Amino acid sequence: MAELKSTSSLASQDAPRTIRSARHAIVSGETSAVALADSYYDTIAAEDPKINAWLALSRERATAQAHRIDELAKTGELANEEALPLAGVPIGIKDVLVMEGAPATAGSKILENYRPPYDATTVAKLSAAGAVLLGKLNCDEFAMGSSNENSAYGPVHNPRALDRVPGGSSGGSAAAVAANMAVATLGTDTGGSIRQPASFCGVVGLLPTYGRVSRYGLIAFASSLDRVGPFTHTVEDAAILLGVLAGSDPMDATSAHQLVPNYAAALDAPVKGLRIGIPDEYFADGLDEEVRAAVEKTADALRAAGCTLHKVSLPHTRYAVATYYVLATAEASSNLARFDGVRYGLRAQDANSLSSMYRRTRDQGFGKEVKRRILLGTYVLSAGYYDAYYRKAQQVRTLLTRDFLQAFTQVDAILTPTAPTPAFRLGEKTDNPLEMYLADIYTVTANLAGICGISVPCGNSSAGLPIGAQILGKHFDEATVLRVAHAVEQAQR
């Protein structure tokens, strides 16, 4: 048995990159949790200056967690894989999720020095499973954006091409995994903010069903759309993490009481006989030809694995972006009303009345995109417009959901591109917010319907940029989505 290395002697390219290999390396004594964390911090120091994925590093808490794992490894308590399934695994947390002892800025100036007094349920669950939490990750401000260019702390650069965006809003979370600065990270997805960055950065990103994972401790953007989910290198790791994160939570009134199956165990079950739906509406104008080709190749691979492919129709797809931007901004205008300088975060110092304190604080603290969305959301809820916009959008949401419920009576999963193009250049779309919004067309539908999905790498463009395939599944049927994604992943090998 190799002697435990107390200093970081793991070259960063040799560091284990999956949950099982990291855990195994610690349990077998090949390395220690402290050395593994150190090696990841070394990679962060070397790579992050050009990527800007990290906003804060929680090295003290991480080292303490790693020490605890090393003590347990010595006693043999980690021999059973079920005990602390994430023992020693270095994980990063998107900065819209609260973690005690570290700042939570939500990528905004309005929370620049905010230190939350509690852990989000998802953060607490990762810790309880033995994870070593490295720090907080950059994101679009209040999770509003598709490129991570809306952060008050600078944009994130795509590790696969530094002049390109990593996607958003969880750009930091996706980039950290892609650049091997963490084994896995947590992100959030309200309109595609896990799946699209996963696609742009060439990693796996999972969108759990609404209510599958607790939102307690997630700084809310749109409460009927927000989800928390993992970024990983492999589908197996996404399955393991979902098993840790899923479950009901008394602190989240919308969290579901569905049983949590063993997602990782079901992964290898053959996909033969599964019916895969291909919706025409997701393969129409605006889809980059190389993305189309990569997803069609994925469909071929699934057919070769014994799946049957079926055309399905999701006729209300073209109304999805409009529906989303009415509902999400309306909910955001309500959720962001709490940032007023009273209880936490920034307070404008030059105000001589309460009302001017509110306005100056919010003017100084919020960026342009956030202001834009609050204004739109307030407008669609205001007297005289509520029925025409907000209530109408809620009705269209029903129609969009019915499209999926109907499709899932004929197929087990739906295959689409994750995004219409590979990663675009930094600054390319910042002048045209509507154009940026329209690029969310393939992802917002799942958030509106409450269903689950995943983005899995399925090839590269001729410029070497990653392309992701999206697999969507019924409510609480992550098991099928993961199984199909695993088959896609296996076919790439």
Partner 1 sequence: MQSTSQTPKQIEKAAKSEPVPLEQVLRVAELAQLELREDEQQEMLRDLNAILGHVAQLNELDTREVPPMTQVNAVMQGDASDAGAVDAGNVLRADAVRPSLDRAKVMATAPETDGTYFKVPKVIER
Residue whose CB is less far from partner 1, 159 or 473: 473
* H helices present in 77-161, as ranges: 121-128
According to DSSP, residue 208 is labeled: P
CB of 163 to partner 1, least distance (A): 26
Show the tokens assigned to 317.
């797809």
Q: Under rule CB under 8 A, which residues in 277-306 are in contact with partner 1?
A: none
Among 63, 319, 421, 461, the residue binding partner 1 under the rule CB under 8 A is 319
Among 138, 173, 199, 209, the residue binding partner 1 under the rule CB under 8 A is 209
Task: Classify burial at 25, counting beta carbons within 10 Å of its beta carbon; exposed 0-12, middle 13-18, buried 19 or more.
Answer: buried
Does residue number 333 form part of the binding site for partner 1 (CB under 8 A)? yes
Per the omega criterion (within 30 degrees of 0), is the bond before 255 cis? no
The end-to-end CA distance of the chain, in Å, is 32
Residue whose CB is less far from partner 1, 28 or 406: 406
Does residue number 5 form part of the binding site for partner 1 (CB under 8 A)? no
Show the tokens assigned to 121.
């349920």
Q: Could you give the residue numbers annotated as active site? A: 94, 169, 193
Among 405, 425, 463, 464, the residue binding partner 1 under the rule CB under 8 A is 405
CB of 103 to partner 1, least distance (A): 10
Residue whose CB is less far from partner 1, 54 or 389: 389
DSSP for 293-352?
HHHHHHHHHHHHTT-EEEEE--TTGGGHHHHHHHHHHHHHHHHGGG-SSSSSS---TT-S
Using CB under 8 A as the binding criterion, the count of chain residues that bind partner 1 stands at: 86
Q: Under rule CB under 8 A, which residues in 29-68 are in contact with partner 1?
A: none
CB of 16 to partner 1, least distance (A): 33
Please report the beta strands in 162-243, taking only residues with DSSP state E, as ranges in sequence order.
184-189, 204-207, 227-232
Contact flags string 112-151 toward partner 1, x per CB under 8 A: --xxxxx---------------------------------
Among 266, 299, 322, 491, the residue binding partner 1 under the rule CB under 8 A is 322
User: How far does Cα 44 stand from its chain's mean position?
Assistant: 20
* 19-27, 189-197, 289-297, 472-480 -> range binding partner 1 (CB under 8 A): 472-480
Among 37, 374, 481, 484, the residue binding partner 1 under the rule CB under 8 A is 374
Q: Under rule CB under 8 A, which residues in 408-437 are in contact with partner 1?
A: 408, 433-434, 437
Show the tokens assigned to 225.
């759309």
- Picking from 59, 68, 111, the residue whose alpha carbon sits closest to that of residue 361 is 111
